[in-house]
Structure 1
Amino acid sequence: MSWRISILDKSPVADNETAADALARTLSLAKQAEALGYHRFWIAEHHNTSQLASPSPELLIAWILGQTKQIRVGSGGVMLQHYSPYKVAENFNVLAAIAPGRVDLGVGKAPGGLPLSTRALQQGQHSGEKGSFAEQLTQLNGWLTPSEDELRATPQPAIPAQGFLLGASTESALLAASLNWNFVFAAHLNGDPALLREVITTWRANSARETIVAVQAVVAPTESEAEALAQKVEVWGVELENGQRVTVASEEQAYAFARQAGSEPVRIARRAQSLLAGTAEVVVDRLNTLHETWGIDEFIIDTPMAKGDARVRSLRLLAEAKRAAEVRV
């Protein structure tokens, strides 16, 4: 099998756990991922929620890099709208200097939280100076490029962090291609097959880089257990009168987003599940079918289960089944 698997981790805090428990499991999972042959281990960015313990991917990346040896470690992703592109470049240049050739800078356009946390994160910033997301990403790309200018984002590492734009639209694919960045289609947030086809076709027509897709996957020893776990996973789409469109994890979050944004909802609806659920052999077969259909080179696996032991087991079973399938080929 000529495709790779990687992990997107959100450091979920299960019932009766502390954030320290969740973060310790993230580190343990990263070490296991390296031993199991996963290619990358990425940390998501989420704010103002007691259910996830990962508002600062950069801190966890440094922690994990210091306790692993080979696996690539990165963000999935930094929510660039909140920050100075210059500061993001400095952070990831430091990380790339610590672990040359192992650091990924994944960047996302979403807020990573509800409007109250967005306002708190952006307090003191002049929105008129920030520019569009495309302008911010272009600035970031410039700061990551070695330069002899008087103002540089130092240190300038021998091997810069690899840049990845996370998105679910042809516009995002075209923006990544224009900057010669990698692109990750966020099928774990919007798995519409027609959109997947359109975005991948656009990407292939405009970039020679690999095709990478993020997917949700739930693996268990039996089909019935996997389906039961999958039924607990929700994805909701929110459209507001002010034009905002976001994806959240529950109906409660959807209405909270509208309330905090101060805009009436035009549409709030639960999206049809696009996750892959089943035994490890079934999920590997479905991933291989996606690879053969769309030429996908790598899958970033999001396993959306708060309960730690089930999530760790899911990722272990998937890696073992993929390895076994490769031996049979």
Structure 2
Amino acid sequence: MGYNLSILDQSPIFPGSTASTALQNTVLLAQKAEEWGYTRFWVSEHHNTDQLAGSSPEVLISYLLARTNTIQVGSGGVMLQHYSPYKVAENFHVLSNLAPGRVNLGVGKAPGGLPLSTKALQYGTVNDGKDFTERLIFLSELIHNSIDDYHPLAGIQATPIPQEKPEIFLLGASANSAQLAADLGISFVFAKFINSDARVLEKAANLYREGFPHGRFIISLAVIATPTQTEAEQLAGDRKIVKVHLQSGRMVTVQSIVQAEVFGKQSGESYEITEQEADIIAGTPRFVKEVLNHLHKTYQVDEFILHTPIEQEVERFQSFRLLSPFNNANTFVQPIRR
């Protein structure tokens, strides 16, 4: 069996550009992804940053659905800790009524920003004390209209109920997340570009397959494809992943040492910062696909969601085009520059 290819776009705002241009390039990339044969196109959720424009995936998804025709469009992902599962279900039911069969509900556990933005997102809301697992279970029950008669909210429905429900995906970077997805019978996306530990990936894959043999196991990874190996390696450069380890045991991944220091100070906890080499697959299309083939065979991967972390928009578009399923049938389209 083969595997599908999809795209995760974070709507990056490059130096000298604007958020408007970044979002227009996201629209253009979604349209080209559909033309190039990618299975799905996901957008992310990040808050209080001048580097990424995607702070509201639900709004962006609705626009992308209107500007495309067949490609699956979804969130990579909605940061559920901030929101009412009921409201999330309503949002994605509206989207699913607008574009039946094309909506994906990717759910993440990360904060999507620094502690200050978390406080802002939750400011003025009622914290009912539910942890992430309880929120995810309730969300799944709402999507599948399966709340039992003993639930405190028995009888509630997230309307308008669509004929074709959005598919739920759990995003994670641990074996525990894989186990949770298997227990709930939902698709799982392992974020390899965040956690490149092969032992964790193997454990996550095994737990998921054992718990949900017919589920969809997906890996999201960072890739850079260029016509030559040298060019790809130059674009990849000496990139690092920075992690903040809080005294409470929580760990988050950020983009720089500066962000890590800010996160640690805003958290109000003692913290440590670690840095490691970024896990980026960089090379020619043949080289990248050989790596994907190996991962597919080793971990029984059903799909790869590609993220291309480079600061040049033209090269970013080129990378996705070179790896696309319909590569030989397409010409290159320049992204917008302003």
TM-score above 0.5, yes or no: yes
1:118-173 CA-to-partner distances (Å, cap 9, x unmatched) read: 0000112333x141100010111111123696421100000110000001112111
1:240-292 CA-to-partner distances (Å, cap 9, x unmatched) read: 12322101111111111101111221x31112332101111110111111112
What residue in structure 2 maps to residue 88 of structure 1?
88
Q: Which amino acid aligns with 1:270?
A: E
Alignment check: 8 A CA contact 1:65 1:73 kept: yes
In the alignment, structure 1 residue 221 sits paired with structure 2 residue 227: yes
In the alignment, structure 1 residue 298 sits paired with structure 2 residue 303: yes
Inter-partner Cα distance in structure 2 for 1:307 and 1:80: 31
Of 99-108 and 276-285, deviating more is 276-285
**Displacement of 1:82 after TM fit?**
0.4
What residue in structure 2 maps to residue 274 of structure 1?
279
Question: Which SS does the other structure have where 1:247 is aligned?
Answer: strand
| Fraction of identical pairs, as percent | 48
What residue in structure 2 maps to residue 327 of structure 1?
none
1:23-79 CA-to-partner distances (Å, cap 9, x unmatched) read: 000000000000000000000100000000000000110001011111000000000
Of 311-320 and 84-93, deviating more is 311-320
Question: Which SS does the other structure have where 1:66 is aligned?
Answer: helix
Inter-partner Cα distance in structure 2 for 1:132 and 1:257: 22
Which residue of the other structure, out of 177, 183, 192, is the alignment partner of 2:182? 177
Inter-partner Cα distance in structure 2 for 1:147 and 1:242: 35
Alignment check: 8 A CA contact 1:144 1:160 kept: yes
Which residue of the other structure, out of 253, 272, 289, is the alignment partner of 1:247? 253
Inter-partner Cα distance in structure 2 for 1:224 and 1:216: 17
What residue in structure 2 maps to residue 157 of structure 1?
162
Which runs of no fewer than 5 residues in structure 2 stay unpaired?
148-153, 330-338
Inter-partner Cα distance in structure 1 for 2:130 and 2:101: 31
What residue in structure 2 maps to residue 286 of structure 1?
291
Alignment check: 8 A CA contact 2:193 2:278 kept: no
**Displacement of 1:232 after TM fit?**
5.1
Of 312-321 and 1-10, deviating more is 312-321
In the alignment, structure 1 residue 38 sits paired with structure 2 residue 38: yes
1:189-237 CA-to-partner distances (Å, cap 9, x unmatched) read: 1111111111101111101212211111011222122111112533111
Which residue of the other structure, out of 189, 193, 197, is the alignment partner of 2:198? 193
What residue in structure 1 maps to residue 334 of structure 2?
none
Question: Which SS does the other structure have where 1:12 is aligned?
Answer: coil
Inter-partner Cα distance in structure 1 for 2:325 and 2:162: 35
Of 147-156 and 284-293, deviating more is 147-156
What residue in structure 1 maps to residue 135 of structure 2?
136
What residue in structure 1 maps to residue 150 of structure 2?
none
Which residue of the other structure, out of 262, 265, 270, is the alignment partner of 1:256? 262
Question: Which SS does the other structure have where 2:100 is aligned?
Answer: coil
Inter-partner Cα distance in structure 2 for 1:73 and 1:314: 20
Residues 1:147 and 1:167: Cα distance change in structure 2 (over 3 Å): closer
Question: Which SS does the other structure have where 2:240 is aligned?
Answer: coil
Aligned pair count reads 322
What residue in structure 1 maps to residue 75 of structure 2?
75
